[in-house]
Structure 1
Amino acid sequence: MSQARTLYDLLGDADSLAIVCHNNPDPDCLSSALALGRIAAAAGVDERRILYSGRISHQQNRAFVNLLDLDLQPFDPEVVHDRPDGALLAFVDHAIPGANNEVPPGTPVDVVIDHHPAEGIDARFVDHREAVGATATILAEYVAELDVEVDATLATALTFAIRRETLGFLRGATPAEYEAVASLHDRTDRDLLRRLSTPSVSGETVDAIADAIRNRVVRGGTLLTHVGRTNERDALPQAADYLATLEGVETAVVFGIVDDAIHLSGRSTDPRINLGDALGDAFDDVGSAGGHREMAGGQIPLGIFADYTTDDATLVDIVNRLVSNRVFAALGLDDGGDED
């Protein structure tokens, strides 16, 4: 029996389905949740909820939710406590309770569909494919195989997510992504797709990216920079995407202080390194970090640093030294090099 049919049969025995997105969900996660909800509806599950935690602050993510009119609810801890028989819990685009989500570690999970590197995944149904470029690719395969009705909203959501997750098929794309988008082509709303691709950018985001450009340090082909303290968490991956295109730069890592944590985002085209593994090695003892070979991120609680000083400039300087030392050491660049 295929994975799609196995999932469909599992959902057919359920009374309800709670689909939990990862923190600060992006279009890959959101479109996958939408598709899984449609599959559950086709299987006869009447009660379905998509839950998220964190913020939907990136301008494309906000546009995605608003233009597609997605029905999202804030994460409710009661959903995962004392679930009755027939109440299923699903993860899409993430895999482990407590890792990039608000679900308590050790919570039983029924469905996991993901493409990110992860170990120790435990669920009744698991489709974990690190080789594909997007979780939305897997869900697009499912809806095609199960003959689930695909309207313009779902087709456009999945298509946009696959395009964005692969940077327009330039990062991590496989034949599966092309096949998935081709299967959705006739039902995709091209005008809506254009509007999703070109949302307005806030002045705060532009300022944060400007700070990243100004604070950059380059060693060899690696660029490391920060945006200081910011409320624009989603400016970090945008800055990383842009700075990774600079001449001579193969790896770009951007970090900033958001609330009570240090957030990192990195991009790499260097075939000699796996950026997800490198950031994991650098920060797993003090926080959580990881991702793919070409795209990775992390989050480190400020902890004692938050109590050390109330001066943001001093705090940023301390964090800059800590993060720089660890990143450059993990990439074998701790002996110094050219700086810009």
Structure 2
Amino acid sequence: MSAATDLRELLADGEELTIVCHNNPDPDCLASALVLGRIAAEAGIDERRILYSGDISHQQNRAFVNLLEIDIQQFDPAVVHDRPAGSLLAFVDHSRPGVNNHVLEGTPVDVVIDHHPADGVEARFVDHREDVGATATILTEYVRELGTEVDDRMATALLFAIRRETLGFLRGATPAEYEAASYLHGLADRDLLRKLSSPSVSSATVDAIADAIDNRVVHGGVLLSHVGRTSERDALPQAADYLATLEGVDTTFVFGIVGESIQLSSRTTDSRVHVGEVLTDAFQEVGSGGGHREMAGAEIPLGIFADYTSDDELLVDIVESVVTARLLASLNIEPDDGDSEAEND
């Protein structure tokens, strides 16, 4: 049997489904959760919920949830860890308990559908394809094979997710993404796609990106920067994307203090650098990090850093020193190789 058929048979034996998104879910994760819920409904599961941890702070992600009217709830440990018999647990766009989610390590998982690099993925049903560009591509394959009704809302969600995850088919796109997009194109709401593509940007996000520009330090083709303390976690990948367009720069790392953790986002166009592996190597002992060759992220609890001082400015300086040292060591770059462009402009 195919993966889609196997999934439907597993869902048909369940009485309820809890879909857990990764922390700070993006359109690929959200669209995949939405569509898995639809497949579960057609398999006979009436009680379904989508949970997430962290924040939906990126303006594009907020617009995605609001315009597509996605019913999503904050993570509830009791719902996940005290499930009754017949209650299924699913991960979409991530794969392991305790990694980029708040599920306890060792929690049994029933369904995993993901495209991110990972080892040791375990579940009753696993479709883990690192060779595709988006998890939404896999879900599109499922609905086509199963004959699931695809309305304009679902088609729009999937098509936008694929486009966003691949940066308009320029990053990590495979023939599977083009095939999925071709199928979805005629079904999607084009006006809604336009609205999702150009949401308003908050002033806090603009300020955070401006801080990243001011704080940049370049080591050859590698740029390191930070935004200090911010409530705009999703300004980090936006800053990393923007700074990656700087002439002479092919790899960017941007960090910020968000709540009680240090968040990092990275981008590269250098085929010699795998930023997912760089972040894993740099921070696996103190936090979690990883992702694709071209894009990745990391999260480190503030922990002992916060015990040094209550002064945010001093705290940022301490964090910057430690994060920079770990990144440069992982990249095999000597600390003296860097030049602060902000000071030289």
Describe how 1:249-264 pairs up with structure 2 within 5 A: 249-264=249-264
* TM-score, with structure 2 as normaliser: 0.97
Distance across 2 between alignment mates of 1:48 and 1:321: 45
Aligned match of 1:207: 207
Distance 1:82 1:224, change over 3 A: same
Unaligned runs of 5+ in 2: none
Q: Percent same amino acid among aligned pairs?
A: 72
Q: CA RMSD in A?
A: 0.9
Contact 1:240 1:266 in 2 (8 A): yes
Q: Could you tell me which amino acid in structure 2 is paired with residue 136 of structure 1? A: A
Distance across 2 between alignment mates of 1:140 and 1:222: 36
Q: Could you tell me which amino acid in structure 1 is paired with residue 118 of structure 2? A: A
Q: Could you tell me which amino acid in structure 1 is paired with residue 283 of structure 2? A: F
Distance across 1 between alignment mates of 2:78 and 2:321: 41
Aligned match of 1:151: 151
Aligned match of 2:195: 195
Size of the alignment, in residue pairs? 340
Distance across 2 between alignment mates of 1:149 and 1:32: 15
* TM-score, with structure 1 as normaliser: 0.98
Give, in angstroms, the shift of residue 268 of structure 1.
Answer: 0.4
Q: Could you tell me which amino acid in structure 2 is paired with residue 105 of structure 1? A: E
Q: Could you tell me which amino acid in structure 2 is paired with residue 67 of structure 1? A: L
Distance across 2 between alignment mates of 1:18 and 1:188: 27
Partner of 1:51: helix, strand, or coil?
A: strand
Contact 1:212 1:239 in 2 (8 A): yes
Q: Determine whether 1:332 maps to 2:335.
A: no
Aligned match of 2:33: 33
Distance across 2 between alignment mates of 1:150 and 1:132: 21
Give, in angstroms, the shift of residue 329 of structure 1.
Answer: 1.3
Aligned match of 2:267: 267
Q: Could you tell me which amino acid in structure 2 is paired with residue 317 of structure 1? A: D
Distance across 2 between alignment mates of 1:208 and 1:289: 22
Partner of 2:117: helix, strand, or coil?
A: coil
Distance across 2 between alignment mates of 1:219 and 1:264: 18
Give, in angstroms, the shift of residue 20 of structure 1.
Answer: 0.7
Deviations 1:130-179 (A, max 9, x none): 11111101001100110100001100000000000010011111011011
Partner of 1:109: helix, strand, or coil?
A: coil
Aligned match of 2:318: 318
Q: Determine whether 1:91 maps to 2:91.
A: yes
Aligned match of 2:47: 47
Distance across 1 between alignment mates of 2:129 and 2:18: 22
Distance across 2 between alignment mates of 1:196 and 1:207: 22
Give, in angstroms, the shift of residue 239 of structure 1.
Answer: 0.2
Aligned match of 1:231: 231
Aligned match of 1:5: 5
Aligned match of 2:160: 160
Q: Determine whether 1:76 maps to 2:76.
A: yes
Aligned match of 2:308: 308
Deviations 1:92-125 (A, max 9, x none): 0011111111111111000000011111111000
Distance across 2 between alignment mates of 1:169 and 1:124: 32
Give, in angstroms, the shift of residue 335 of structure 1.
Answer: 4.6
